Amino acid sequence: MIETSRLTLRPWKESDWPSVNAILGDADVMQFSDHGVLTEKQQAAWFQAALASGNKLEPPFLLAIERKQNRQIVGYISLVSDLERVQPGDAEIGFRLARNVWGQGCATEAVSALLEMPLSGKRPDRIVAIVDPHNSRSVHVLQKVGMTYCRDIMLEGYDYPDHLYAYDLVR
């Protein structure tokens, strides 16, 4: 579990299921997703994977973002090392927030906390993010937390390249 002044990044619980649709079922939230809005069946599979990621703080993990003020789930943050998407030594960060908390700094706060947290197990050399260049909100968050643009990256099935941002952990 990771705590910030306003947020708790924590493992998912069965009781969090009602919050999943507000994130994965919202067309605006999922606009830049590889898969778009998830069906209820896809959401259930995603949620089972989230529950299975457990309490470990080494990639892969998928944490709920909870507001301390009212214990409301407002999104998720993940860290994975998928060698089909990233280089050896890299871990890819991902995040999504429910639309009702956009513009409130929650994404910046969550991403900053994850970048600064001590990871258990083998620590990656750098954390990367792959983002659609049209997703100005996410690009702004990445820049604000100190991630820097490295290069374009063309993923299979895409019409145009995404941007790869990086944050070096080896300093």
The CATH number of the domain holding residue 42 is 3.40.630.30
User: pLDDT-derived band of residue 120, with 50, 70 and 90 as boundaries?
Assistant: low
Q: What is the pLDDT of residue 95?
A: 96
Strands 126-131 and 90-97: parallel
Q: What is the residue range of 136's domain?
A: 2-168
- Domains: count for the chain: 1
Averaged pLDDT, 91-115: 94
User: pLDDT-derived band of residue 149, with 50, 70 and 90 as boundaries?
Assistant: very high
Is the model's pTM score more than 0.95?
no
Instruction: Name residue, tokens 């099935």.
Output: 157
CB contact set of 85 (below 8 Å; sequence gap of 6+): 92, 130, 155
Averaged pLDDT, 115-132: 83
Residue 123 has pLDDT above 80, yes or no: no
Closest CA to 117 of 79, 164, 161, 69: 79
CA angle 87, 89, 92 (to 5 degrees): 65
Q: What is the pLDDT of residue 58?
A: 66
Is 122 or 138 the better-scoring residue by pLDDT?
138
Q: Which of 52-56, 114-118, 162-166 has the highest mean pLDDT?
A: 162-166
Cα separation, 148 vs 49, whole angstroms? 30
User: pLDDT-derived band of residue 121, with 50, 70 and 90 as boundaries?
Assistant: low
Q: What three-state secondary structure class fits 83?
A: coil
Contact 103, 68 (CB under 8 A): no
Is 71 or 171 the better-scoring residue by pLDDT?
71
Q: What is the pLDDT of residue 54?
A: 76
Q: What is the pLDDT of residue 72?
A: 95
Q: What three-state secondary structure class fits 19?
A: helix
Q: What three-state secondary structure class fits 127?
A: strand
Averaged pLDDT, 103-131: 87
